[in-house]
Amino acid sequence: MTTLAPTLSTRYFPRAATWLRDLFLIIIGSLFVAALAQVEILLPFTPVPITGQTFGVLLVGAALGSKRGAMSLALYLAEGALGLPFFAGGAHGLSIVIGATGGYLAGFIGAAYVIGLLAERGLERSARTSFIPFLVGTLMIYACGVTWLAIVLGSFSKAITLGLVPFLIGDLIKLIAAALALPAAWKIVK
């Protein structure tokens, strides 16, 4: 009977089956990023921690595509803002969203969309070409995060020093790791 259920649902209710599959993938994507947010290294000189979130954003955007990827990250942001301990180190609430790391969190949504859009155009087909959407997405996260951090700190140069420079090497490693992990992510999504 379990083998007939997918056939019946896709045969008689194709839109419902697609919608449920998309919803499932969006939720799984948000939970994946939330789990990676718990991988946190605090740096004593900056309010921005090193986390696994950006790695998750890169993979979710490329594997789910523009719309589902962006919706997954929007869901992630809403889950954390509403009180689930999904942000770095189990943090949650609106104070995190409007705090020092809020720009990075908001940038995740746009980054996932653009990564997904570039992936839909074929730029994620190999580890070498997937580097392009991942780099563009990372730059978007930095643009949003550093801009917001500059507002919070009252200084653009401080925001660059505390919110960009310490993360460049780690994010390069995340880009490479995401490119290598992308084939596994495709298998899960398919």
pLDDT for 56-110, tens place per residue? 999 999 999 999 999 999 999 999 999 999 999 999 999 999 999 999 999 999 9
SS3 (DSSP) at 160: helix
pLDDT for 116-151, tens place per residue? 999 999 876 777 788 899 999 999 999 999 999 999
- Identity of the amino acid at 104: Y
What is the token pair recorded at 187?
């298998």
pLDDT at 7 over 80: no
- CATH node for 4-189: 1.10.1760.20
Percent helix, strand, coil in the chain (nearest 5)?
75, 0, 20
Q: How many C-beta atoms surround the C-beta of residue 94 within 10 A? A: 12
Residue ranges of domains in the chain:
4-189
* pTM, two decimal places: 0.88
